[in-house]
Structure 1
Amino acid sequence: MPSDSPVLIPIDMQRAFDAPPWPRRWNADLDRNGRQLLAAWRRAGLPIIHVRHDSVEPGSTLRPGLAGHAFRDGFAPLDGEPVVAKSVNSAFIGTDLDLRLRRLGAPPLVVFGIATDMCVSTTVRTGANLGWAITLVADACDCFDLPDIAGGVIRAEQVQAVHRATLAYEFCRVVSTREAVSALTGA
């Protein structure tokens, strides 16, 4: 992970993902790892830009005003930590995220959140295509079981493994929470 003032970007750490209609998730350590990243960035005084999904889809559990729209416990922004609201999968589309980052001097990005295969992956891919240096903290991400078009279910663990591999192959560096915090603190 690059050491020069990386910006932490938690993506869609919202309560909606804990209840139906969302399927089973795999990562029991998601919250612990994500909170550890936030704590490390805050101790270091480094920038954090939270991304929140503000759905415009009827019936979505992520619509503003619904309980699921709120941040998960321990993931609400602190004073001075901006929130970028998006209504599509990529945090770079229809938002001012790119401009905010350029105003910070085009730092490297460290990303985690829900869901690895959807909004996290789309944000990482778009960001990489825009020229951003990105690190994905894979064990601070989560995704869901998905229906297989041939019938059956593709387990969330398999979805995670495939997306982690494809992102690492071309779009970003992939690390663990321990590696991200160690790189940040030098420990």
Structure 2
Amino acid sequence: MTQFAANAALLIIDMQAGINHPRLGPRNNPEAELRMGELLAAWRLSSRPVVHVRHISRDPSSVFWPGQAGCEFQPTFTPLGSEAVFEKHVPDAFCQSGLERWLHVRGIGELVIVGVITNNSVESTARSAGNLGFDTVVVADACYTFDLQDRQGRMWPAETVHSLSLSNLAMDYARILHSNEVLASTHQTQL
């Protein structure tokens, strides 16, 4: 069984109001927010560090364009005063955000990543985390994505896109676990 350090950080990526915009299309993992909420509650209960990442887009057509409601955190994922918040302008949460330094200063070597979009910000952040030497876990049922049209015009279902993204990460960058496995290890550590 996986054991997490007392200072393993939960990294919640882009759980902002805009991600629920209908124009993003069909998605997978309809219970992902419930799984994220369970993990957030467990992290808070165990006093482990929680890091919220918010995307601030440079594209005026984005659901995360500054100054609109889409940029705000969803109520369930509103950071507490004691929790860190990092803003990013590209998919990778480590890129010019100060996140890496913040983690190193606190001696945090383990990251548990949840959020959206699996094949975009989650994958990009997990790849960097793995490359930077962090022990990285991506929680498969606490992430989701949307149907994706490829460059040849073929539409790929969200579940296929999600699965392929997680398979990419499992090769070299992160361990892929389910929320029940992560929750069992956090409860085990508390005993």
Shorter-chain TM-score above 0.5: yes
Q: Which of 176, 179, 182 lines up with 1:177 in the alignment?
A: 179
| Structure 1 position 96, deviation (Å) | 0.5
CA separation in 1, counterparts of 2:58 and 2:40? 28
Distance 1:3 1:152 in 2: 40
Alignment partner of 1:125 is 2:127: yes
Matching of residues 1-80 of structure 1 within 5 Å: 1-5=2-6, 6-80=8-82
The alignment partner of 2:24 has SS state of coil
Matches within 5 A, 1:106-125: 106-125=108-127
Report the CA distance between 1:21 and its aligned residue.
2.7
SS in 2 for 1:57: coil
Q: How far apart, CA to CA, are the structure 1 residues paired with 2:144 and 2:63?
A: 17
TM-score (norm 2): 0.94
* 2:9/2:108 contact within 8 Å kept: no
Q: Structure 1: which 5+ residue stretches go unaligned?
A: none
Instruction: Spell out, residue by residue over 1:131-182, the C-alpha distance to the aligned partner (whole angstroms, 9 max, x if none).
Output: 1110111100000100132323100000011111111121111101111111
Q: Are 2:95 and 1:93 equivalent residues in the alignment? A: yes
What secondary structure sits across from 1:162 in the alignment?
A: helix
Among 143, 146, 156, the residue aligned to 1:144: 146
- 1:74-131 deviation per Cα after TM superposition (whole angstroms, max 9, x unaligned): 0010111110000001000010100110011032000010000000000000111111
CA offset at residue 57 of structure 1? Answer: 1.3
TM-score normalised to structure 1 length: 0.96
**Contact residue 2 and residue 108 of structure 1 kept, 8 A:** no
CA RMSD of aligned residues (A): 1.2
Q: Secondary structure at the match of 2:23?
A: coil
Q: Percent identity?
A: 35
Q: Distance in 2 between matches of 1:167 and 1:2?
A: 20
Tell me the matched-pair count: 187
